[in-house]
Amino acid sequence: MPPDFLVSMAGGLILAAALGYWYARSGDSGRGLHRRFREYAQQLPRRSEKAVSAYLAQAEEESSEPGAAFELAAYFRSGGDWRRALQIHESIAAREDLDAATRAHAGLEIGDDYRAAGMLDRAEEAYVRTAEYLPLRLNALERQLGVCEQLSDWERAVGVAEQVRSEDSSLGSKLRCHYLCELAAQAAGAGEMRRARSYWRKAARGGDESARLLVDPAVLDPRDPSRSLALAASNPEAAVLILLGLAGRHGFAGTQIDELLEGLVADHPALGPAVGCALLMEPELLCPVSARCLFAALEERLPAFARVYGAGEPAEFSMESLNALIDELGAASGGPPRWRCTICGHRDEAHGWRCNECGAWESARLISVLAP
Q: What is the pLDDT of residues 69-98, one digit of tens each?
A: 898 889 889 999 999 999 999 999 999 889
pLDDT of residue 333: 66
Q: How many angstroms separate the CA atoms of 49 and 311, rounded?
A: 76
Task: Report which residue type is found at 234.
Answer: S
**172-198: average pLDDT:** 96
How many residues does this entry show for the chain? 372
Q: Is 36 or 355 the better-scoring residue by pLDDT?
A: 355
pLDDT band of 315, cuts 50, 70, 90? low
Q: Is 27 or 357 the better-scoring residue by pLDDT?
A: 357
Task: Report which residue type is found at 176.
Answer: R
- Whole-angstrom CA distances from 158 to 49, 161, 291 are 42, 5, 43
**288-295: average pLDDT:** 88
Prediction pTM value: 0.80
| DSSP assignment letter at 166 | H
pLDDT of residue 372: 67
Q: Is the pLDDT of residue 64 over 80?
A: no
Q: Is the torsion defined by CA of 357, 358, 360, 362 positive or negative? A: negative
Mean per-residue pLDDT over the chain, rounded: 83
pLDDT band of 135, cuts 50, 70, 90? very high
pLDDT of residue 321: 80
Q: Is 311 or 153 the better-scoring residue by pLDDT?
A: 153
pLDDT band of 335, cuts 50, 70, 90? low
pLDDT band of 170, cuts 50, 70, 90? very high
- Whole-angstrom CA distances from 163 to 131, 171, 257 are 10, 11, 44
Q: Is the pLDDT of residue 11 over 50?
A: no
Task: Report which residue type is found at 302.
Answer: L
Q: Is the pLDDT of residue 232 over 50?
A: yes
Cβ(236)–Cβ(211) below 8 Å = no
Q: How many angstroms separate the CA atoms of 160 and 177, rounded?
A: 12
